Chains A and B, each alone.
Chain A
Amino acid sequence: MPNNAPTIEAYRRVAPRGAVDFLLRLSEQVRGRRFLHVNSTRLGGGVAEILSRLVPIMNDLGIKTEWDVIDGDPEFFATTKAFHNALQGTGQVITEAMLHHYVEMNRAAATRLRLEGDLVMIHDPQPAPLIEARRTDGKWVWRCHIDLSAPQRRIWSFLRQWVVRYDAALFSLPAFAQRLPIPQFLVHPSIDPLSEKNRSLSRKDIQRSLDRLGIPTDKPILLQVSRFDRFKDPVGVINAYRVVRRYHDVRLVLAGGGATDDPEGALVLAEVREAAGRDPDIIVLDLPPDAHRQINALQRAAAIVIQKSTREGFGLTVAEAMWKGKPVIGGATGGITSQILYGVTGDTVNSVEGAAYRVRYLLSNPDLMRRMGEAGREHVRQNFLITRHLRDYLTILVHLTS
């Protein structure tokens, strides 16, 4: 285990009361079993981020857990990126040659990987055809992390031929489930409270990060953290801010990334900058993918966090903000509605006007903001921390392999 790998005991001070002892007891039922995870990358993206934390903890709990990745060339990853977009409902052109290459790369990977375990969990579409290489008695589950609520039919049908051969499929929301002849289970994603993005920061650390980012703290900060993507509606957030500005002196920070390697992201970023105009109280930050501490500091410095998406997979930035004790105003879509308890931890809205009204109302009621922040942190502690994720995976292991 690497030196900086988390242990289960480290979570005792942040997890819900009794949760670590519960995990220790639950793991006794499956101690010594082999659990293999396979995805397509060790670095970057939410899946790698969560596996890099889950795998050491599972080993710490006595489950022989391994994590392998499928190799691929640029053509393979271009195809799987197109798959990803098509499965999330964006029209894509995917040729027969691309599909053929995708299958061949999986077959080649299957010869290199040791695909054995009492439970083999294959993450996302990239390695889904590895099920063809199933040889042992272990159970295989397909873990889908993406929004499958409105997939492009042709691509889903193509992928489905492998999915139906698994023993079960796991989805992040009921809306993502499909018509399948295998059991489908619900597993929400989670955040790691000890990671750089979520660990506690001193006031000095927060101030230092804000200073480096050039964010003054002389007025309340409204914050949205998300990629520069039209589905996140950053221009809608600016419009809502402009309504709020009539009543409250606030500053808006839009922090995102992904604009440098994504042509559409760069376009949206340009639109956002144009919409912001010369307003000195709108700060647009294009951050690198590893700006975890900066995002942590921004979320902790914000008065209210906004996630005004019009379409969203799960939207873990909502849980991240609630963990930092912030009320969250979110678009009424996807996983946002599963995370925000309406009127308790924040509000869900359906329009620019709705977002503006809720922000204005909260700014006028600081006690309510504080109560929502506290409720949000407890809600995340119970439902969206990595300890709950571990519980779910261990339960799948118990359920399928006992």
Chain B
Amino acid sequence: MTDVSARTPFRFFGCIELREILGYRAWDERELMELLEQVPPGAVYYHTHSVFLRHHQVTGAYPNDFANWVASQVRDQVLGERLAIVDPFEFQDLERLREELVSTIDDHISTLHPVPRVVFGDPFFFVQSHVVSVPLGLSAPTLAEFARYLHDVDASSIYFHTLEARVRRGNRHGDFAQWVETALGLPALAEAIAHINPYLGGLERIRAEMLRLIQPVLSEATDAQ
């Protein structure tokens, strides 16, 4: 199989999350909303994004902690569903995402008396995320090499170069898509990679989807020889 060479190699980083317990607990949906307004952005991030670092596949009923808590502990399925449909992929930053979540809860509880609360379940514990990056010593000078590393790399690397890059480091399309566009000069592939929504399947889906997208490009390069 022939390859596509890059102007600069792709350097893989992994990451690990240190989880800080903030000591805030919500027992009902109003408390959840009020605390969500106050907590540091790292807590909004933890409960909406880094859930994928803990579960590489989407395994719970919903893809964020707020939706899962109101559905399973408060047993308010309607708010669970309304919070689950909030797609973090659509928001440029955590503050806008926070606003959307707060207004969704506010709108829901404004018509409810009393506000739904935990009766038998656990309260919601706010946790904040600190992400530590780790260079993995893997450097891919070509697309084929990149695919080979991508196949085996620690899942935290996929997280770091997609979600962490997008949300915390301001790289709108993620590191993978950016490198494919600027270093390999493959804008169509870059766009396809940028459009993989991690919130609909988790890190392993991103890995599988990227490998699926790269394969025909490599085959095409072979045919062109």
Interface residue ranges, A against B (CB under 8 Å): 16-19, 21-22, 25-26, 29, 171, 174-175, 177-180, 183-187, 332, 337, 341-342, 344, 350, 375, 379, 382-383, 391-392, 394-396, 398-399
Contact = CB atoms under 8 A, between A and B. Distances in A.
Contact of B14 (A25, A383, A396): A25
B135 interface: yes
B224 interface: no
A399 B59 contact: no
A379 B19 contact: no
Given A25-B136, A186-B127, A171 B16 contact: no
Interface of B: 14, 16-21, 23, 54-56, 59-60, 72, 120-122, 125, 127, 130, 132, 134-137, 152-157
A24 to B, nearest CB: 9
B56 A382 contact: yes
Contacts of B154: 16-19, 21-22
Q: Which of A350, A395, A399 has the most CB of B within 10 A?
A: A395
24 contacts: A18-B154, A18-B155, A22-B14, A22-B136, A22-B156, A25-B135, A25-B137, A26-B14, A175-B125, A177-B125, A180-B23, A185-B18, A186-B21, A342-B60, A350-B120, A375-B59, A379-B55, A379-B59, A382-B56, A392-B16, A395-B16, A395-B17, A399-B18, A399-B132
Contacts of A25: 14, 134-137
Nearest to A17: B152
A353 to B, nearest CB: 15
Contacts of A391: 16
A21 B136 contact: yes
A183 B153 contact: no
Contacts of A180: 23
A184 B137 CA distance: 32
Contacts of A379: 55, 59
Contacts of B72: 342
A391 B17 CA distance: 9
A18 B152 contact: yes
A26 B134 contact: yes
Nearest to B138: A21
Contacts of A171: 21
A398 B16 CA distance: 11
Contacts of A174: 21, 125, 127
Q: Which 4 A-B pairs have the closest CB atoms?
A: A18-B154, A174-B125, A186-B19, A177-B21
Contacts of A332: 121
A312 to B, nearest CB: 12
Contacts of B18: 185, 392, 395-396, 399
Contact of B23 (A184, A337, A399): A184
B60 A341 contact: yes
Given A22-B154, A392-B16, A399-B132, 7 more contacts: A18-B14, A185-B20, A185-B21, A341-B60, A375-B59, A379-B55, A394-B16
A25 to B, nearest CB: 5
A323 B139 CA distance: 34
A175 B118 CA distance: 15
A383 to B, nearest CB: 7
Contact of A185 (B19, B56, B137, B157): B19
Contacts of A186: 19-21, 127
A375 B121 CA distance: 24
A228 B156 CA distance: 40
A175 B73 CA distance: 14
A184 B20 CA distance: 6
Nearest to A20: B154
A2 B26 CA distance: 48
A284 B78 CA distance: 45
A22 B152 contact: no
B155 A177 contact: no
Nearest to B60: A341
A398 B134 CA distance: 11
Contacts of B155: 16-18, 382
Q: Which of B21, B127, B137, B152 has the most CB of A within 10 A?
A: B21
A175 B121 CA distance: 12
B77 to A, nearest CB: 14
A177 B23 contact: yes
Contacts of B17: 395
A82 B14 CA distance: 44
A325 B111 CA distance: 46
A75 B136 CA distance: 50
B23 A179 contact: yes
B14 A398 contact: no
B122 A337 contact: yes
Contacts of A382: 54-56, 155
Contacts of A350: 120
Contact of A184 (B21, B54, B55, B122): B21
Contacts of B60: 341-342
Contacts of A341: 55, 59-60
A347 to B, nearest CB: 12
A175 B130 CA distance: 20
B134 A22 contact: yes
Contacts of B56: 382
Nearest to B54: A383
A293 B20 CA distance: 36
Q: Which of B16, B120, B121, B157 has the most CB of A within 10 A?
A: B16
A180 B135 CA distance: 34
Nearest to B137: A25
A382 B203 CA distance: 13
Nearest to A342: B72
